[in-house]
Amino acid sequence: MREGTNTVVRREDYTAPAYWIRTVDLCFELDPAKTLVINKMTVERNADRPAEPMRLDGEDLNLTRVLVNGESVSFRVENDQLVLDTLPDGSFSLEIRTTCAPEKNTQLSGLYTSGGGFFTQCEAQGFRRITYFLDRPDVMAVFTVTLKADKAKYPVLLSNGNLLEQAELPNGRHMAKWHDPFPKPSYLFALVAANLVAREQKIRSRSGRDHLLQVYVRAGDLDKTEHAMNSLIASVAWDEARFGLSLDLERFMVVAVSDFNMGAMENKGLNIFNTKYVLANPATATDVDYAGIESVVGHEYFHNWTGNRVTCRDWFQLSLKEGLTVFRDQEFSQDLAGSPSARAVKRIDDVRALRQFQFPEDAGPMAHPVRPDSYQAIDNFYTATVYEKGAEVVRMQHTLVGREGFAKGMALYFQRHDGQAVTCDDFAQAIADANPGSELAARLPQFKRWYSQAGTPRVKALGRYDAPSRTYTLLLEQHSLPSTGQPSKEPYVIPVAMGLVSREGRPLPLQLEGEAAPVGTDRVLVLAEARQFFTFVNVDSEPVPSLLRGFSAPVTLEAPLADDDLLTLLAHDPDPFNRWEAGQRLALNRLLAAVQAGGELSVDEAFVGAMRSVLRHPELDAAFKELVLTLPGEGYLAEQLDVVDPQRIHAVRESMKQQLAQALRDDWAWAFEAHQVSGGYSPDPVSSGRRALANLALANLVQDAALRGDAVWPGKALQRFKDAGNMTDRFGALAALVNAHAELAAPALQRFHAHFKDEPLVIDKWFALQAGAPERDGSVFARAKALLAHPDFSLRNPNRARSLLMPLCLNNPAAFHRTDAAGYVFWADRVIEIDSINPQLASRLARALDRWKQLAEPYRSAAREAISRVAAKPDLSPDVREIVTRALQD
C-alpha cells in the first residue's frame, strides 16, 4: 500500500497487516532544525498472515538506530520503507530513532513549525514523516508521548489523551508526558508545543462525568474564542441528546494554528484547527464565518465517535467516517437552527454546495465512487464526493429507516464495532440490521451501489392526470451516464420524498392504488427500477407534483414543469426546499434559454412578480428570501450545458441580476430598510438572515444606482461600510462597492486594509473579495495578478494562498477563462510554483481546470495546453501528477 509517482493503490489489493503494533512510546526532543524522535513499540506478528518481513513507512527522515528487543539488527531502507527481514516470533519490542527538520517542512504534513510553535498533521499519511511506522488506519496502538522542549519558547506541551506528568529539565527545558488510553491509528496522533493561552470551560455531561474543555490560541486572540467554545459545548450536548454518545476523555482540547492545509483535524482529544474555524468576534468575522466555526467544531468533535472510536479499515473507506460525520454536523447545525424554516435554509445551503462542487466533480475526470476503487495520492480523495455525496448517502439511509430507526442503527454500529477499523459495508449493514422490514434492509445490496458507482444519476419524472378516473400517474425513470472505468451502471435505490399540490396551492392527500386510505400529504416513494409507475387515486383535480422534497437523493431531477406549475410551487409548496427550488428553476430556465439563444435576456413580468412576492412576503423568513433571490451560480449553470462559454454565461447572469436590480428597485430599498438589525451582535439564524437579506438588497441597490450614475445608494453603502457595528455589515457594504462602484471601492479597500492589517483572517477576506469580484473588462484578473506582489501575500501560508487563488481560479469563471489564455497561464505557473512548496495545496488548485473538456473554443485548446505544460514537468508531486494525468486522459 505504498505511494510514489504513478503508483496506483487498489482497494481490491487490501490485505490485513503482517504485524500489529500494540503500544507506542514516543519521545520528542523538539528543535526546529533537528528534532529527535525515539519511538519504542511493542509489536506482534499477525498470526493470521503468512510470515513476511516487516515494512515500516517513513518519509524525509534520518534514521539513526534500530533495536529489536534491545539489540541492534540488520535492516534495509527501500523506497521510503524500513524493512526488517529477521524478527522474533510472537511479541517483541522495536525501537527506532530518527531525526527530522520541522522548520523545513513546508508541506505541513507531519511535524512542522508555524508562528514559532510545533504542530502536527498526520492524516492521511503524515505520521510516516515523524517516525517509521505501519502508517495505515487498521493498525491501532495505545500511545504514550513525552515532549521535551525549551520552556520559554514552548511553554505549552500537548498531546493526545491525559496528562501524566510535567517537569522542569536542565538548560531551560521542560517536559510533559501524555497517555491516550484508547488504541488509535497513527493518523490520529498529534502534538503541539507552542506559546499559547487557553479559554477553559468545565462541563458536566448527562452521564454525570466532569470534563475540561480548552481552546488554545495565541495570546492576542483569546477574545475571539467564545463562539468556538460555545460550539464545542453545544456539540458535546447534542451528541449525547441525539445519539447517546458521550465524551470519553477528561480533557478535550482544540488548538488553533494559522498554517494549515485544511479546515481542522480530529486527533484524539487534541483537535488541531485552522484559525479560520476557531477565531471570531463580531468585528472580524461574518455570520458565514460564525456558522462555519459551529459546523467545523461540531464536525471534528463528532469524529470522536465516528472516525476515532470506530475508524476506517483502509483509506478507501474514508467516507465511512467523513460522509457520516458531515451528515452529523449538518444535522447538528439544523437542530441548533431550530425552526423548520431555519432548518430548510441550512439544507438549501448544503445542497447548493453539493451542486456547486460535487456535481461537477462527478461529471469530470476526477469522478469516483463514494468508496473509491483506486488512488495515487490519497490526499486527493478528500473530496466533495467522499464528504458531501457521502453525507447524502447516509442521509438516504436515514430517510429510508426514519430518525428513530437511524438512531437504533447507530447504536448497533457502535455495539458491534467500537474499537475497530471497519468498512462502509459494516456501517450500512448495521443500519439495515437494526431496521428489519425497512426498505433499506429489503434492498441493501442494491442500495450499496451508491457506494460503488460514480456519477450523478438523472431522474426523469412525467405525470399524467386522468380526470374521469381521478387518478394521477407518475412515471419515474432513472438513468446514469458512464464515467471513467464505469461504462454502464445499474439502477440505484432512490428515495423520492414528494407531495401533490393543487393548483390553488393546497396539499393533496396521497393514496396510492391498492391502499385503503390516503397516507398523509407527504411521503417517500422508492424508485428502485429503471422505470416505475406510481398511481395515485382519488385525486380531485390535476395536481402539481412536488418531487424530491428536501433534496431526498443526490440526483438531477428532470421534471418538465411549466412556469405556472413552478409559480404554484414557489408560492405554496409546504416543503420550503422545493419552494426555493421552484424559484431557482424559474431563473435557470430563463438563463439557459438566453445562453442557448446567443446571450440576449429580458426578464418577464411573471418572473419579476414572483420574485417581488417572495421579497415582500409577510411571513417568509429573511434568510429564505435571500436564498430565493440569489440567482443560480455560474458554475451550476455551466453544468446544465454540454458546451460551456463562461463569458456568455457570465454576461447573461449579470444581465438578469441587473434587470432584477432595476425592476425591484423600490422593493430592494424597502427590504434594506426593513431588515436592519439593532442591538448587540448575535449570529443567530434570525439576525444573520436579516443581515444577509439587507446585504443582498444593498448590493442590488448599488449595482442599479451605479449604472444610472446615481450617487445616493453608493454613498449610503460607503457610510455603512464606515459605521458598521460588525464585520457582516461592513464587509457586505464593501462588497457592494467592490462589485459595482470602482471609484468608491478603491479608497474603501485601502481603509479596510489599514484598519485590519494585523488580523490575518480579515486580510484573507480582503484578497478574496478582490479576486472574486464580477469581471467586467479584465480588470479583476489584472488586479488579482498584481496582488501576488502585495507585501502581505504569500504562497507559503495556505489560507493566504487560497484567499487569492481559489476565488479567482475556481469561483470566478469570467475572470479566469479569458480568450487570451492569460488565466490558464497564471494557473499553470502557480500550480508548478506551489507544488514545490506544498503538494496538497497545489493539487487543490490543480482541480480548477477539471472541466476543461466541456469548454467552448478557444478556451478548450488553451486549457489543454496549460494542463499539458504542468503535466510535462518531470518532478511533480504524486498529488498534482494524479490530477493532471486524469484531466488529460480520454
Contact set with ligand B3K (CB under 6 A): 123-124, 262, 264-266, 299-300, 303, 322, 379, 382, 840
Instruction: Choose the contact partner of 174 out of Zn ion, ligand B3K, none; CB within 5 to 8 A by kind.
Output: none
The neighbour count for residue 793, using CB atoms within 10 Å, is 16
Nearest distance, CB of residue 334 and ligand B3K, angstroms: 19
Asked if residues 563 and 603 have their Cβ atoms less than 8 Å apart, the reply is no
Could you give the 3-state DSSP secondary structure of residue 474? strand
Cell of 476: 419515474
3-state SS, residue 210? strand
Query: At closest approach, how far in Å is the CB of 322 from Zn ion?
Result: 5
Choose between 169 and 353: whose C-beta lies nearer to Zn ion. Answer: 353
Q: Nearest approach, Cβ of 268 to ligand B3K (angstroms)? A: 12
141-150: strand order across its sheet = 71-72, 62-68, 91-100, 35-45, 19-29, 141-150, 173-184, 162-168
The set of cell numbers assigned to 58 is: 517513513
Q: For ligand B3K, give the closer residue by CB, 264 or 622.
A: 264
Looking only at residues 643 through 662 of this chain, which bind Zn ion when binding is defined by CB under 5 A?
Answer: none
Residues 301-330 that bind Zn ion (CB under 5 A): 322, 325
Q: What's the CA gap between 581 and 549, in Å, rounded?
A: 9
Q: How far is the CB of 870 from Zn ion (least distance, A)?
A: 29
Contact 235, 333 (CB under 8 A): no
Q: Which CB sits closer to ligand B3K, 266 or 634?
A: 266
Residue 825 DSSP one-character state: H
Could you tell me if 570 and 582 are in contact, meaning their C-beta atoms sit under 8 angstroms apart? yes
What separation in angstroms does the CA of 102 have from each of 24, 61, 93, 261, 564? 21, 11, 27, 16, 63
Query: How many angstroms from the chain centroid is the CA of residue 725?
Result: 30
Relative to beta strand 264-265, strand 556-558 is: unpaired
Residue 265: which of ligand B3K, Zn ion, none does it interact with, CB under 5 to 8 A by kind?
A: ligand B3K
**N-term to C-term CA, the chain:** 27
Q: Which residue has the cell 414572483?
A: 610
Q: Print burial letters for 166-200: b (CB count within 10 Å at least 16), e (below 16).
A: eeeeeeebbbbbbbbebbbbbbbbbbbbbebbbbe
Residue pair 546/499 in contact (Cβ under 8 Å)? The answer is yes
Q: Select 215 or 264, whichever has its Cβ closest to ligand B3K.
A: 264
Q: How is residue 359 written as a grid cell?
A: 456535481
* Residue closer to Zn ion (CB basis): 296 or 692: 296
Name which of ligand B3K, Zn ion, none residue 262 binds, using a CB cut-off of 5 to 8 Å depending on partner kind.
ligand B3K
* 168 among known catalytic residues: no
Classified as helix, coil or strand, 610 is helix
Q: Which residues fall within 8 angstroms of residue 486, CB to CB, at 6 or more apart?
A: 453, 454, 455
Residue 123 interacting entry, from Zn ion, ligand B3K, none, C-beta within 5 to 8 Å by type: ligand B3K
Smallest separation, CB 124 to ligand B3K (Å): 5
**In whole angstroms, how close is the CB of 39 to ligand B3K at the nearest point?**
22
Q: CB of 123: closest distance to ligand B3K in angstroms?
A: 4
* Rounded Cα–Cα distance for residues 37 and 30 (Å): 8
Catalytic residue among 123, 300, 654, 775: 300
Residue 92, beta-bridge partner list: 43
- Considering the complex, state which of residue 333 and residue 546 has its C-beta at the smaller distance from ligand B3K: 333
Q: Which is nearer to Zn ion, 238 or 668 (CB)?
A: 238
Exposure string for 84-98, b = 16+ CB within 10 A, e = fewer: beebeeeebebbbbb
Radius of gyration over every alpha carbon of the chain, rounded to an integer in angstroms: 28
Residue 197 main-chain phi, psi, to 5 deg: -125, 160
Q: For residue 709, how many other CB atoms are within 10 A of its CB?
A: 7
Which of Zn ion, ligand B3K, none lies near 379, with the C-beta cut-off 5 to 8 A by kind? ligand B3K
Q: Is 508 in contact with 444 (CB distance < 8 Å)? A: no
Q: Is the dihedral of CA 584, 590, 593, 595 positive or negative?
A: negative
**Between 118 and 381, CB nearer to ligand B3K:** 381
Cβ-proximal residues to 296 (8 Å cutoff; 6+ apart), any chain: 263, 264, 273, 277, 329
**Shortest separation between residue 641's beta carbon and ligand B3K, angstroms:** 32
Q: Residue 262 or residue 555: which is nearer to ligand B3K going by CB? A: 262
CA distance 727 to 704: 24
CB 57 within 8 A of CB 128: yes
Q: Give CA–CA dist 523/508, Å, rounded.
A: 11
Phi, psi of 14 (to 5 degrees): -60, 130
Task: Rank residues 587 and 841 by Cβ distance to ligand B3K and give the closer one.
Answer: 841
Closest CA relative to residue 298, chosen from 336, 260, 250: 336
Minimum CB separation of residue 274 from ligand B3K in Å reads 10
C-alpha cell, 81: 520503507
Closest CA to 232 of 184, 191, 186, 264: 264
- What DSSP element (H or E) covers 691? helix 685-708
- Distance, in Å, from the CA atom of 602 to the CA atom of 842, rounded to the nearest integer, reads 41
CB of 122 to ligand B3K, least distance (A): 9
In sequence order, which residues have a C-beta less than 8 Å from that of residue 151 and are 6 or more positions away?
Answer: 168, 172, 173, 174
- Give least dist CB 835 to ligand B3K, A: 16
Closer Cβ to ligand B3K, 301 or 450, answer by number: 301
Please, which residue, 319 or 838, has the CB nearer to Zn ion? Answer: 319
CB of 130 to ligand B3K, least distance (A): 15
What is the C-alpha to C-alpha distance for residues 867 and 828, in angstroms, rounded to an integer? 7
Q: Which residues are catalytic?
A: 300
Chain positions contacting Zn ion, by CB under 5 A: 322, 325
